Structure formats: C-alpha cells, structure tokens
Amino acid sequence: NAGVTQTPKFRVLKTGQSMTLLCAQDMNHEYMYWYRQDPGMGLRLIHYSVGEGTTAKGEVPDGYNVSRLKKQNFLLGLESAAPSQTSVYFCASTPRGNTEAFFGQGTRLTVV
C-alpha cells in the first residue's frame, strides 16, 4: 500500500519553463489537495478537488493549474515558472473534508 506518491521528488526549472507535478493515491479517496510550503508560511492550499473531474481554487492559485481526470491522480501544472514558485509542494488526499489527510513525501522545486 503506497498511500500518496508524488513525482518527481526534486526538480530545477529555468524561469519560463513549464512542468507538471503528479500525485497518485491508491486509497480510493475522494478529496485531493495541492499545498506549497515556504519557511514561516505554513501549508498554503493551491488547488483542491472533491472528486473526479472537479477542481477548485485554494488560497494561492495564481500561476498554477490542476486536473483530476482520474480519481487516483491529481496533476499540478506550472505553465511559465517564476522564481516565486520555488517551494516544497505537498499533495494530500482524504476520504472526505473532515477525515485524516494523508500526505505525499513532497516535491522540492527550484526555479532559477
């Protein structure tokens, strides 16, 4: 049972490049989330999904897009990376909004 798996674990991008972060969960959870974690800022919600085919904006959605075409996968896209998007990104999933969240191991992204 892998839980929540994030791909890749590390990535360095040049300003203006694009990339997609993949989150996969094998627990049949309905809800999936993307957070970014920066020093002193805690976990800030970027986008989330409450079911296959649905997405919604979180606290800091600008510069990011997401898709939930399959229930088990939640993709986070950066169309034109900026240095301000240098961060550690965490994916999480929950059965519902008021149940335990399971986190991935994180993706450390550096934009130069």
What is the contact surface with another protein in residues (CB under 8 A)?
Answer: 4, 31, 33, 35, 40-43, 45, 48, 50, 56, 58-59, 90, 92, 94, 96-101, 103-106
In one-letter notation, the amino acid at residue 107 is T
- The CB-of-58 to another protein minimum distance in angstroms stands at 7
- The CB-of-70 to another protein minimum distance in angstroms stands at 19
Q: Which is nearer to another protein, 59 or 80 (CB)?
A: 59
Given the structure tokens 């896209």, which residue do they identify?
77
- The CB-of-16 to another protein minimum distance in angstroms stands at 29
| Token pair listed for 59 | 């606290």
Buried b (16+ CB within 10 A) or exposed e, 39-73: eeeebebbbbbeeeeebeebebbeebebebeebee
- The CB-of-111 to another protein minimum distance in angstroms stands at 20
Cβ-contact 6, 70 below 8 angstroms: no
Q: Which is nearer to another protein, 17 or 50 (CB)?
A: 50
